[in-house]
Amino acid sequence: MAGKPKLHYTKGRGKMESIRWLLAAAGVEFEEEFIETKEDLEKLRNDGVLLFQQVPMVEMDGMRMVQTRAILSYIAAKYNLYGKDLKERAWIDMYVEGTTDLMGMIMYLPFQPADTKEKNLALIIERATTRYFPVYEKALKDHGQDYLVGNKLSWADVHLLEAILMAEECKPDILSAFPLLQAFKARISNIPTIKKFLQPGSQRKPPTDEKFVAVVRKIFNI
């Protein structure tokens, strides 16, 4: 299991996308083995490589890691994106949990019934602009630094940029009332490893469409 990390997941964003983002930000090349059918998933389960019978799963450093949060915190710690002490780590965790909540709402939107989508989209926009983005805008304003924690790039920054771009897919001008977040977005997007990941042809996945929703429902029997 030496060499590049190998990511096992479907050919879409889902819970693996934040893992792709963090590895890319750290400058780590990775391979992907896509689960494209129900049989692919069953094979992984039958081979006993999924600790809780679930994906994402990442083969890395001789481990088969599952549980998104555990994988992300391992990568963040390994590549020095997790703060310099326990207090910084706690702030990074808090910021990450906030963006995870927001991204979760966006992630599940395409899987919801058509008659509730409009209502849920409005809720996402309302939560983003009144509950989540004001927190990050205030954090940047209060300490006047380029990054959320410790004035160096951390997992919290990478996660926030991912959340911002997802929210902009819901409403392109969603950052209109947040000038510091607009500047943050431009700044973090220009970090060379992240800039590379944002280019066409990278391993970043496109927004979830109806075709992919159908594939996921078939694979996971939902």
Burial-class residue 129 by CB neighbours within 10 Å (0-12, 13-18, 19+): middle
Return the structure tokens found at 197. Answer: 């990941």
Residue 133 lies in a domain: yes
Q: For residues 31 and 19, give the distance between their C-alpha atoms in angstroms, rounded to a whole number.
A: 12
- For residue 221, the model assigns a pLDDT of 83
Q: Residue 55: which CATH number?
A: 3.40.30.10
Tokens of 4: 């590049």
Same-domain check for residues 96 and 184:
yes
Q: What region does 152 belong to: left with phi over 0, alpha with psi -120 to 50, or beta? A: beta
What would you report as the CA-atom Rg of the chain, rounded to the nearest whole angstrom? 18
Q: Specify burial of residue 9 (Cβ count, 10 A radius: 0-12, 13-18, 19+).
A: buried
Q: How many domains does the chain have?
A: 2
For residues 96 and 28, membership in a common domain is answered with no
The answer to whether position 184 is within a domain reads yes
Domain CATH for 133? 1.20.1050.10
Task: Say what the pLDDT of residue 217 is.
Answer: 93
> What is the per-residue pLDDT for 66?
96
Give tens-digit pLDDT for 17-67: 999 999 999 999 999 999 999 999 999 999 999 999 899 999 999 999 999
Which residues face 9 on adjacent strands?
34
| φ and ψ of 11, to 5 deg | -85, 40
Q: Within this chain, do residues 97 and 187 fall inside the same structural domain, yes or no?
A: yes
Partners of 66 in the β-ladder: 57
Residue 218 resides in a domain: no
Distance CA 72, CA 25 (A): 12
Q: What DSSP string runs through 119-146?
A: HHHHHHHHHIIIIIHHHHHHHHHHH--S
Q: Kindly state whether residue 221 falls inside one of the protein's structural domains.
A: no
Model pLDDT, residue 2: 55
Residue 53's domain comprises: 6-79+198-212
* pLDDT per residue as tens, the chain (222 positions): 458 999 999 999 999 999 999 999 999 999 999 999 999 999 999 999 999 989 999 999 999 999 999 999 999 999 999 999 999 999 999 999 999 999 999 999 999 998 898 899 999 999 999 999 999 999 999 999 999 999 899 999 999 999 999 999 999 999 999 999 999 999 999 999 999 999 999 999 999 999 999 999 999 988
- Specify if 33 maps to a domain: yes
pLDDT value of position 222:
80
Does 123 share its domain with 74? no
In a domain, 48, yes or no: yes
Residue 110 and residue 206 in one domain? no
Angle, to 10 degrees, between the axis of helix 155-170 and the axis of helix 179-189?
A: 110
Residue 219 is predicted with a pLDDT of 93
Q: What is the pLDDT of residue 139?
A: 96
pLDDT in tens, 158-172: 999 999 999 999 999
pLDDT for residue 1: 43
State pTM to two decimals: 0.95
